[in-house]
Structure 1
Amino acid sequence: MTADLALAARALAQVSGAYVADRAGLDPGRLQAFERGSADLAIGEKMRLQRALEDCGVVFIPEDDQSGYGVRHRLTRAKMNRLENWENEGGPASEHDV
């Protein structure tokens, strides 16, 4: 967990620092200092922060050989089913150009 990743995850989840800090059991000022890069968190604090952000609906993407780390929205199976139904609502695509 890095400062930029925590800030990006919180922005993506659209939650306040105070809310996330409370859920992670952190002092809001300490979280703010971590996000600014002026303080570090212990491993346990970072793990609690990550769990709190995941509970807010984000997924952390680990770095691999082809791309860097990141964060994205978590989609539930029900939401995926609704999206698939919406995409297929118009029936199969036609062969002709419109």
Structure 2
Amino acid sequence: MDLTPSLVNAARALAKIDRQQLAAKAGLEVDTLANFEDGLSDLDAAARDKLRQAIEHFGVEFLPPTDAGPGLRLKFNEQETGQLLGWEGEGGMPGEDDVP
């Protein structure tokens, strides 16, 4: 899937991060990211790859394109998944849960 300015903008909104946070994680200048998102300049393949990895780090998953076009969704990151797994069994041994 091609990383477009609108996908990057939507990914930031979904992850609730600003350009500074995404640029720092991707190793890009904020102005470079802003110019890409605003459609004023393009990024080379290496920068796009770093940008995609940074977006995925913040918990956004790219969905394969369909007839409706490409998509995004928010997923749990590794830290959140670990926390969820730690909650299993917090209430003790499960009992019978049939409601009379």
Same fold (TM over 0.5): yes
Give the equivalent residue in structure 1 for 2:93: none
Give the equivalent residue in structure 1 for 2:46: 44
- In terms of fraction of residues, the more strand-rich structure is 2
SS at match of 2:40: coil
Give the equivalent residue in structure 2 for 1:73: 74
Give the equivalent residue in structure 2 for 1:5: 7
What are the within-5 Å matches in structure 2 for residues 49-64 of structure 1?
A: 49-64=51-66
| CA-CA distance at 1:75 after TM superposition | 3.3
Query: 5+ residue gaps in structure 1?
Result: 83-90, 93-98
What amino acid is aligned across from residue 69 of structure 1 in structure 2? P
Give the 4+ runs in structure 1 shifted more than 4 A: none
Query: 5+ residue gaps in structure 2?
Result: 89-96
Please, what is the CA RMSD of the aligned residues?
2.2
Identity of aligned residues (%): 34
Q: TM-score, normalised by structure 2?
A: 0.72
What amino acid is aligned across from residue 5 of structure 1 in structure 2? L
Partners of 2:45 and 2:20 lie apart in 1 by 20
What amino acid is aligned across from residue 16 of structure 2 in structure 1? Q
| CA-CA distance at 1:67 after TM superposition | 3.2
Q: TM-score, normalised by structure 1?
A: 0.74
